[in-house]
Amino acid sequence: MIAHLFGEVTEKLNSSAIIDVHGVGYEVILTSVDLDRFELKSAVKIYTYHALRENAEELYGFSSLAAKRLFELLISVNGIGPKAAMNILSLGAPEEVRNAIANTDAAYIAKASGVGKKSAERVIVDLRDKVGLPSKYGGSGSSLEFVGHAPENDEALDALIALGFPLKEATAALAEIDPALPVEQRITAALKQR
């Protein structure tokens, strides 16, 4: 199992990038958010999910461990495959997607390419209790706009997940801790809560 790759982005394709790791090029399918963020010739660390099917092997990549865990939750939903999960994660930052699920915003999830209203509702029903507490939203109806603190790559959240916390517990543990504190202090405070 390939857990992560650290290498240089040598090519960017429609929905994937070639990551050169010591002379070996791995084609990694990325969300549109990550694909836009990664620059050619830049060094990147990508957490991966290796999907094996009867007629294909695909490597899906994520800029954070939290995004990978959210992807794994999404593909556990009946009817949501890896491509649909990547389309859902392409809607915005992983924290925005997680908050949409936590806030039962099926209209937001249904905006993903290839995800209909019924599939979006199934995602909400199956995952709402697994993704943790919602952050605040402003506005009303389906035009909710994210206004809470949503760091693109929360190192404290990734560290807690790496320590074995489920996404829901890691999110809840960090919810009451000041996000302005250094990463180490946030992790220590979260561990003391457990």
Distance CA 136, CA 78 (A): 28
* 9: three-class secondary structure by DSSP: strand
Which pLDDT value is given to residue 139? Answer: 31
Which pLDDT value is given to residue 8? Answer: 96
Distance CA 53, CA 73 (A): 18
Distance CA 98, CA 120 (A): 13
pTM assigned to the model: 0.73
* Strands 24-29, 137-138: pairing kind: unpaired
Of 119, 149, 153, the closest CA to residue 134 belongs to 149
Digit-by-digit pLDDT tens for the chain (194 residues) are: 788 999 999 999 999 999 999 999 999 999 999 999 999 999 999 999 999 888 889 999 999 998 999 999 999 999 999 999 999 999 998 888 988 998 888 999 999 998 999 999 999 999 988 887 776 443 333 333 333 444 456 788 888 887 878 777 888 888 888 888 888 888 888 888 77
61 Cβ contact partners less than 8 Å away, ≥ 6 residues apart: 5, 17, 19, 28, 29, 30, 34, 46, 47, 48, 49
Question: Residue 141's CB: how many other CB atoms inside 10 A?
Answer: 7
Which pLDDT value is given to residue 135? Answer: 62
Question: Given the structure tokens 């009303």, which residue do they identify?
Answer: 140
128 Cβ contact partners less than 8 Å away, ≥ 6 residues apart: 101, 102, 104
Which pLDDT value is given to residue 137? Answer: 41
* 103: three-class secondary structure by DSSP: coil
